[in-house]
Structure formats: structure tokens, C-alpha cells
Structure 1
Amino acid sequence: MREPTVASLMTAEVIGASPDTSFQDLVRLLEENKISALPVVEDDRPVGVVSEADLLPKEEFRAGAEEPPGLFAGRAEKHRWAQSAGLTARDVMTSPVRTTTPDTPASKAARELAISGVRRLFVVDDDGVLVGVLSRRDLLSLFVREDADLRRQIQDEVFGRTLWVDPLTIGVTVAQGVVTLSGRLERRSEIDIAEHLVRSTPGVVEVHNNLRPEWDDSKPPRQTEIFG
């Protein structure tokens, strides 16, 4: 079963800025488009990101009216102080940009977002050209599926096409993304494979596996004793 890729989930139309975009225009772009961050693009390639957090230091330090951080201030506070004096995207942007590619599996992109703590990944092609953006919300959209559609996919693809089992002999119920399996398969190993495949199906929240085997092939066959 093929996993969804970044290309199938990303937003292709990306609102961006140039390194010379003014501070006020950055604020307007975020406000008018109802977004929290945008890429800074040069020669069609992302070179930085400007988020709401990158612009807030202008108010935090009152455009330089507040006292600068002291000698023992942390690096983060000193960085925000430097941003507070910024006039253009180049001055306030965060770089480097965290990117991914269109053919990256959705699970790998989700792991990158989780580990890095960022809210979005910018999608670039083989030449580094910006082609889209993938947000946390885009990935979570995988779970917005009708139960009937999810049930049909599990029956047809997992049991019918992959395991070559008559789907009508297996009980598959889905309630709010939670899948319950019942019935019998020939071997214990098939049950383990079936559960793995169902869990890997986009949109599955949890699996309750009540399948039972005709025989347990996970145990070695018993040897027959020979008496002389």
C-alpha cells in the first residue's frame, strides 16, 4: 500500500516575500493572507522564513526605545534585540529554511516537523526551487475521512488485493477512524501483517484486532518421537 507523499498534501500556491520586502509589507502580507509565516525567496529559492515571532521583537523592544539586553542576557534575547532594528525581510528572517521534497513520504515529513518543532516545511524540487509548503494542518487532514470510505479501502486493498482474502469473510467496522477487525485468517503471521497494513492506512486512528488464526505458524512444529 503506497503511503501519501508531500506532493499530495502540500499547498502549491505559496505567499512569499523578497529579501528587500519592508517590515510593514511583511506585516500586511501575513495579515491579508491570514498566515503566520512566509518564505523569503530569492531566484525562486527559499533563503529564509519570516514568522510572526520574528516581527514581534519590534514591539517587544519598542523599536529600540527599551534598554538593550544586558551582558549576561541569553542568545535568544540578543537575537530578538537585533531583529527589533530590522527594516526588511533580510534583517528579521530566520535561516536556514527547513525544507522537504514532493516525493517525501508523509510520515517522514511528520517526523521532521515533530523533531524540529517547526510548524511548516517548505517544499523544493531537485533544483532547490520552491514549489509548495506543507503545514501540520495539511498532515492532520489525512484523518478527516468518512468511515465508510476508510472501511472500503481496508476491505479492498488490505484484504482483497494484498492478502488475497475474500473481504466478505472478514469483519471490518470503523467508527471515527477506529478500526475493529474480526474473523479468522489461515495463519498467525497473516494477522500480524493485516494489522500492520491497516495501521498504515491513511486516516486510521486506532486498530482493535480481534482476528483469530486457523493455526499458529509462529511456533515451531512439534517433532515426532521415534521409539526403537
Structure 2
Amino acid sequence: MNRRSPHTVNDVMTSTVVAVGLEAPFKEIVAAMKEWQVTAVPVLEGEGRVVGVVSEADLLAKEELRDREPTMIGQKERLADYAKAGAVTARDLMSGPAVTVRAGATLPRAARLMAEHRVKRLPVVDEQGVLKGIVSRSDLLKVFLRTDEDLAAEVRRDVVDRFFPVSRGGIRVTVEKGCVTLTGSVRDAALIPVAERLTRAVEGVVDVRCDLIAPMTADVAPRP
């Protein structure tokens, strides 16, 4: 992974996706999940438009409520669960509308969507909502597999060379296990926190230690 930051969902998503149609039967969905070793599958309509997602939680309602005698109060409190317990196709099992993401979205955007909606994976769709791939939590962590050399090159190119064209020769960038250290002397002290922030924003960076300094260069006025 040698692209410059920011990386997008398209860089890390899985393009081969198992999905089911609206009329897919219960057992077929369970079998697909087992075969592909996934915990959820998108549900497609028409030419591949994502309309929902069936997860293990949606399927487990049938087993959980199998031997439970519903009461009027219980049915009211868990109406959706009881409906799914009696469902036999993806149309009635799925949760919808599906939470999706575009291929061009940044990884932080995808991570926020997962956190906000408490899901482990997101279908990736185009402008028409047609399925193009899937992105999971583990996919978002792929940026941390970038090599130290790759990270150092990006920090030097996009931070040091860009903001310190005069001082860059005296700035050292070292990376160990994803942790970046910046050392050296620069002319403009105001740019030091900017350099630290931008280095921290490079995807794949685990931590940043900024030891840049800006020595006083102004002449001291002589006493009268």
C-alpha cells in the first residue's frame, strides 16, 4: 500500500462479496454465511441495489424465541424480534435501510459510520446504490500494515519538504513500528505544531514524537 494519504474505502475494501436476494430462504442465508465465513450479508434488489442487510443477530431471533411463549407485554416490547423469528426470507429478516458507504469515502468516515450504527461491516455502493464491495473493521486496519519506510517517505515528502523547504536538510524523520520521530532545527516555530498534526494525520502512523526546535534568531538590541 504505497498511496499517499488520505486512503479511501476503495483502497481497502473487498470487491468479491457474498450477497442474497430479497426472496432468499432462511437456510440459504445461513449456508452462505457459513461458506464465506461472514457475519452478515447485503440484500439486493433489481440490478444489485442494496436494500438491507441480514446479520447473525437477525437470524438468531428464530432460535432465541423458539420455545418462549409470548406474552402481550413481551410481544409489544420485542415486536421486531418476534417478526424476525417467524420470517423465512431475507425480505422479512433484513434490517433496512442498509447503512452503506461510497468507495471514495475516507477511512475515518467509514469508521465513524460503523461506530455510530454499531455495525462491523459496510456495503460499498456507487451513486445508484449498486453493490461494489464490502469494507470491514479489519479492512480499515490495513493502513497500519504500511512499512516504516513507506511512512517515513510520505512524512518527508508531504510534511517536511512542503512546509520546511529551507530547513528540510536539517530535519530527520525516523519511524519505528509506526511511531514517527521528527528531530532537527527549523526557522518558523509556528509551523512545528502544524507539522506534528499533519504527521499524525498520515494513515498508518501509530504515534508521533515531535522534537523539532526553532532557535532564537533575532538580534538582541544593544543597551543604550
Normalised by the length of structure 1, the TM-score is: 0.86
Match of 1:158 in 2: 159
Q: Secondary structure at the match of 1:214?
A: coil
Aligned length: 217
Unaligned runs of 5+ in 1: 217-223
1:176/1:165 Cα in 2 relative to 1: closer, same or farther (>3 Å)? farther
Partner residue, 1:145 = 146
Q: Is the 8 A contact 1:69 1:78 kept in 2?
A: no
2:69 pairs with one of 50, 64, 67 = 67
SS of residue paired to 1:203 = coil
Equivalent residues in 2 for 1:46-195, closer than 5 Å: 46-62=50-66, 65-71=67-73, 75=77, 77-161=78-162, 163-164=164-165, 167-195=168-196
Report the Cα offset of residue 93 of structure 1: 0.6
Task: Calculate percent identity across the aligned residue pairs.
Answer: 39
- Cα offsets for 1:96-145 (capped at 9, x unmatched): 10011111122222122222221122111112211111111111111112
Q: Superposition pairs for residues 203-214 of structure 1, below 5 Å? A: 203-214=204-215
Which segments of 5 or more consecutive residues in structure 2 lack a partner in the other structure?
none
Alignment match, 1:35: 38
- The answer for the alignment partner of 1:219 in structure 2 is none
Q: CA deviation at 1:84?
A: 0.9
CA contact (8 A) 1:19 1:40 kept: yes
Describe the SS at the equivalent of 1:142: helix
Distance, in Å, in 2 between the alignment partners of 1:153 and 1:9 is 19
- Corresponding residue for 2:11? 8
- What letter corresponds to residue 19 of structure 2 in structure 1? G
Answer yes or no: is the 8 Å Cα contact 1:110–1:139 preserved in 2. Answer: yes
The answer on whether the counterparts of 1:5 and 1:105 sit within 8 Å (CA) in structure 2 is: yes
| Alpha-carbon separation, structure 2, partners of 1:123 and 1:151 | 31
Letter of the 2:155 counterpart: I
CA positional deviation for 1:171: 2.0
Aligned CA distance change for structure 1 residues 15 and 215 (closer, same or farther; 3 Å): farther
The amino acid across from 1:156 in the alignment is: R
Contact 2:167 2:187 in 1 (8 A): no
Relative to the length of structure 2, the TM-score reads 0.88
Distance 1:148 1:172 in 2: 10
Distance 1:2 1:153, change over 3 A: closer
SS of residue matched to 1:149: helix
Q: Deviations over 1:174-196 (max 9, x none)?
A: 22211111111111122122112
Distance 1:162 1:4, change over 3 A: farther
> Which piece of structure 1 moves more, 191-200 or 156-165?
156-165
Distance change in 2, residues 1:20/1:91 (3 Å): same
Q: Which residue is 1:18 aligned to?
A: 21
CA pair 180-73 structure 1, distance change in 2 beyond 3 A: farther
